[in-house]
Amino acid sequence: MPGVIPCCPVYDRLFLRITSNPAIRSESKCIDMNDITRQKIKKLAENLKEIFKKPKNVVKIWIGLVVVIAILGNLTRCPSGGKKHTPSPSPSATLEEMPTQIGELLISPSPSGSGVPSPDSSAKSPESPVIPTIKEGGFDEKELQEIKKDGYLSYYYRRKYSTDEVKTVWKAVNLLLPDYTREEKELATRSILAYHWVVYRTTMLHNMTDNVKVTKKYKSIIEKFAHLHQIPPEIPLAVITWENSGGEGKTSWAECVGVGQLSMGAVETSHGFYAEYVPRVKQINNIYGIINKKFPSAHLTLMSHSRQWETEFFDIPKKHQTLAKARNVSDERLVPECNIEDAVIYLKLLYNNYGNRADLAISAYHNGGVNNNDIIRDYLKRAGATELTPQSSQKEIINAIQKYNLKYIHLWKDVRSRDMLNGLRTVFGEITDYENDYYALVDESDIYVWKVIAAYGALNADEKTLTGLIRKYRGVWDYAETRGVRLYDSYDKIRNSIKSGWLVKIPPDLSRDNGISALKGGDGDYYKNRAMYNYYTSPEIIGFLWELTREYRIRTKNPQAKIPVKGLLNSRLLETGDISKIPQIQHPYLQGIALDIDLANAENQDVLYRILKELFLHDHIFFITSKDTGENRVTLNPRYGKYYYGKYQEYKKENGK
């Protein structure tokens, strides 16, 4: 959902915030610096009339006309934001060869027909090639050494994405972020993959198949407007694929409408983009008429016709009003052609305002330009651009962006900037609390760029891959993201894993037992012979719990504070006797990668919740809460399996274990 950004795309117009009131924070005002241009045109027309009244030297007049026409052509340049737009390079020209390893990810060909069933698939449903099969046992010596060094969860993560899935992202990253370094492209790819559940999971309001259909339906129109308004077509194609919600006239909770999900403020801003250009072209076309009347010329007639077309094409309000009237609607956003063109122009404005940087323009489409500028200015000032102030013009911000070669990936890697994007801090850099939270960004603002790029990958994916990805990411977030992790679905498997060290017992110094083995209706045999298995979990969970406990003790200033835990392995689930009856959302417990934290009975509930929220927003965990059951399920993100396995090793070393 775009916010309203100051419409200062051309020349030296100043970019000023008029208020810090949150209610009108996205509004802005422009100071016109082009009066001198209009005055020159007016004076030129008056002088020409005088010259033509008394022509004394035909040669001088013709030479003067050539100069005048050249000047007029220069004065009527379309707003371009400085750099000349060049056609987007072909995929083969920009796509770097996909590496065989991207960070921790191992990229190998997907075995034909391999995979594991999606949550609701049946035996009749074909398994998707984008869901790779990952071993739970039978490891060779090399794999065992890898697991011993980095842990099983890391082993799983390195193999969790198929070549087809990675390829959809890698291509999109190369086309939308061609100036990223190889290392930056790899980080962007891993970051986008981490949010594929958000992109591909089907809900009542979101279906990526429908989104792709809408974009493909209007693809030629999007590309036409992108070329006419001089912006790489990949940008509006990507944004519209994410935004359209599978329909042409849908309205969001923020009252944004249509395929580009535009607010009325964004529409007005788009209308204002050519507001000064069109009258200037009309004035100059009148001058062509004066010249052509006195000295008829086919060339001047052609130029006049061209200018007339420009005045009609770039008079966006009038053109869209006509189209809306023809469709018998009062809101032009309900006309796909109008909505698309407004979205393209709005993105063009942002593209100009951020030095032709696609990633920053996409971010601003969602966050709003003023908010984006606050975050960028905060980062750049810490990087050395101390000359930037809240009153800095957009031109000064662009210069600083170019000087420090700022990219969105830099904001993503910087903890403070990322916290300003995800709402843990306000856009002014203050830690968010109940008193200032209206200055904090929400609605997944930090991952918006990644969602848009992922959507562009979906647009270009073949049907088989797209269908497979949608099937892969069905179900609850942590379940879908850990499907295929080793499952301890029998007491025999649990006992064998304890002997081999795959499962370890939770140390009493790290947690407070708030019902870890409690079982409603549990008999004496259960509590005597099987209840103890509930206290086991993976080494990675112990490493996480140790790290969490240390931070909790620091913030509460209580060296004896413990994390209240209600559930770990939850082997009590096996008491049903039928693994098929265990809800899939409970599988992360039986995989040894989740724990249920009793937040309601924590000594410092707000502090503990804040820490967990931070870990969630920085991808370390999935945090699933339920008001109905009181469950607070914390599941480790396999992406950080290696990190927490290392923390487990540190814990053992520090405690002599």
Query: Which tens digits make up the pLDDT trace of 92-148?
Result: 445 678 888 888 888 765 443 333 333 343 333 344 457 888 988 899 999 999 999
* Side-chain-side CA neighbours of residue 601 (13 Å): 15
In angstroms, the CA 7 to CA 637 distance is 41
Q: Is the pLDDT of residue 17 over 60?
A: no
Measuring CA to CA, how many Å separate 134 from each of 101, 282, 487?
A: 17, 66, 12
Kindly report, as residue ranges, where domains of CATH 3.30.1380 are found in the chain: 485-654
Cα distance between residue 212 and residue 62, in whole Å: 56
Largest CA distance in the chain: 118
Q: What is the pLDDT of residues 620-641, one digit of tens each?
A: 999 999 888 889 999 999 999 9
Residues 6+ apart with CB under 8 A from 654: none
pLDDT at 69 over 70: no
Pairwise CA distance, residues 367 & 309, whole Å: 35
**Model pLDDT, residue 193:** 97
Predicted confidence (pLDDT) per residue in 140-173, tens digit: 999 999 999 999 999 999 999 999 999 999 999 9
Q: What would the two tokens of residue 52 be?
A: 């033509």
DSSP 210-249: HHHHHHHHTHHHHHHHHHHTTS-THHHHHHHHHHSTTSSS
Question: What is residue 22's predicted lDDT score, i.e. its pLDDT?
Answer: 30
- What's the pLDDT score for residue 115? 37
Tell me the per-residue pLDDT of 288-314, one tens digit each, with 9 for 90 and over. 788 878 788 787 788 888 888 888 899
For residue 423, CA distances in Å to 24, 64, 265, 356, 426 come to 19, 60, 23, 26, 6
Q: Residue 208 pLDDT more than 60?
A: yes
Structure confidence at residue 70 as a pLDDT band (50, 70, 90):
low
- pLDDT digit string, tens, across residues 337-359: 999 999 999 999 999 999 999 99
**Which pLDDT band holds residue 77 (cuts at 50, 70, 90)?**
low
* The pLDDT of residue 78: 63
pLDDT at 372: 96
Given this model, what pLDDT does residue 147 score?
Answer: 95
pLDDT for residue 370 is more than 70: yes
* Span 591-625, pLDDT tens digits: 999 999 999 999 999 999 999 999 999 999 999 99
- At residue 74 the predicted structure's pLDDT band, cuts being 50, 70 and 90, is low
CATH 3.30.70 fits 485-654, yes or no: no
Count of Cβ atoms closer than 10 Å to residue 64 Cβ: 14
**Partners of 133 in beta bridges:** none
pLDDT at 6: 31
Q: What is the pLDDT of residue 150?
A: 96
Mode of pairing for the β-strands spanning 621-625 and 29-31: unpaired
Structure tokens of 249? 């006239």
Average pLDDT value for residue range 231-238: 97
Q: What is the pLDDT of residue 49?
A: 56
Confidence at residue 28, expressed as pLDDT on a 0 to 100 scale: 32
Q: Please give the model's pTM, rounded to 2 decimal places.
A: 0.85
pLDDT of residue 100: 84
Residue 205 has pLDDT above 60, yes or no: yes
High-pLDDT (> 70) share of the chain, % = 82
Pick the closest to residue 118 from 129, 106, 107, 108 (CA basis).
129
- 552 and 611 in contact (C-beta within 8 Å)? yes
